[in-house]
Amino acid sequence: MERNGQAGKIMQRAAFEFIENVDRFSSADEVMARIGAALHRWGIENHMFSFIALPTETFADIALASRLPAGLFDAYNELDLVHHDPGFRHAQRTDHPFRWFKEALYDPETEPRAQETVDLCRDFGLVDGIVIPFATTARRLGQVWFGGPKLDVPKRDEPALHLMALYAFDRVLQIKGVEATAAKTLTAREREMLTLIASGKTAQDIADATSLSKRTVRMHLDNSRSKLGAATLAQAVMIAIRQRMIMP
């Protein structure tokens, strides 16, 4: 148990070290190389940052940076699979990280092109993966995908993996000159509420420690989430941290 706790702390330190240095990375290739070096310890050999495709967009349009097996990008794009990919579809339905393709369900009988997508990826050795969907600073849905033949990501390491993914994605957007939508200003009370949530407090904990009712606490948190364009409080906290509105 103590060994697991120590391993978790090591991963947290690695994540924060990555976050502290991410603004120094000068190219998308460097971002991908640096995060790739950190991912090897989990058996992650490939990764990709992309937006979620709009109806008229191709895979090439939405892919921001990738480390995929040679030939897969071109084959996937030429076959026009992005709108049949069960992983991309599931990313539009959830704000929680999910296992690809284990949790991105599809019917191979009625969705042959979805099966074609899965088969193509497996032909290139991509059997297991994790998808982290989120609202980006460009105010459109994005996702970070990690994959390989087999992944070994303990639950205790998932928060560190998610944090690195979010900061790396934003840095790639900055490098590529994708304009971020200016976030609305949070009030001092809203920043306070999000900071407490970031420290692990619940709405009830905050109400108990302040003169506010639980209903008022939830109102401030809902306002913060709405202003930041986040689907969940967890996303709101991450957006506020990476935009330097609150400190972790």
Q: What's the confidence (pLDDT) of residue 2? A: 43
Q: Under DSSP, is residue 99 helix (H, G, I), strand (E, B) or coil?
A: strand
Q: Which pLDDT band holds residue 246 (cuts at 50, 70, 90)?
A: confident
Q: Which fold has domain 188-242?
A: Arc Repressor Mutant, subunit A (1.10.10)
Q: Tell which residue, 124, 48, 123, has the closest CA to residue 88.
A: 48
Q: How far apart are CA 1 and CA 124, in angstroms?
A: 37
Q: Under DSSP, is residue 100 helix (H, G, I), strand (E, B) or coil?
A: strand
Per residue in 60-116, pLDDT (tens digit) is 999 999 999 999 999 999 999 999 999 999 998 887 889 998 999 999 999 999 999
Per residue in 156-202, pLDDT (tens digit) is 888 888 888 888 998 999 999 886 666 678 999 999 999 999 888 89
Structure tokens at 61: 């349009």
Residues 185, 52, 35, 157, CA torsion sign: positive
Q: Span 31-47, mean pLDDT?
A: 89
H/E stretch holding 165: helix 158-175
CATH number 3.40.710.10 given to 2-175: no
The structural domains of the chain, with segments of one domain joined by +, span 2-175, 188-242
Tokens 């969907």 belong to residue: 133
* pTM as predicted: 0.76
Q: What's the confidence (pLDDT) of residue 40? A: 83
The more confident residue out of 238 and 8 is: 238
Which of 1-10, 119-128, 131-140, 232-241 is predicted most confidently? Answer: 119-128
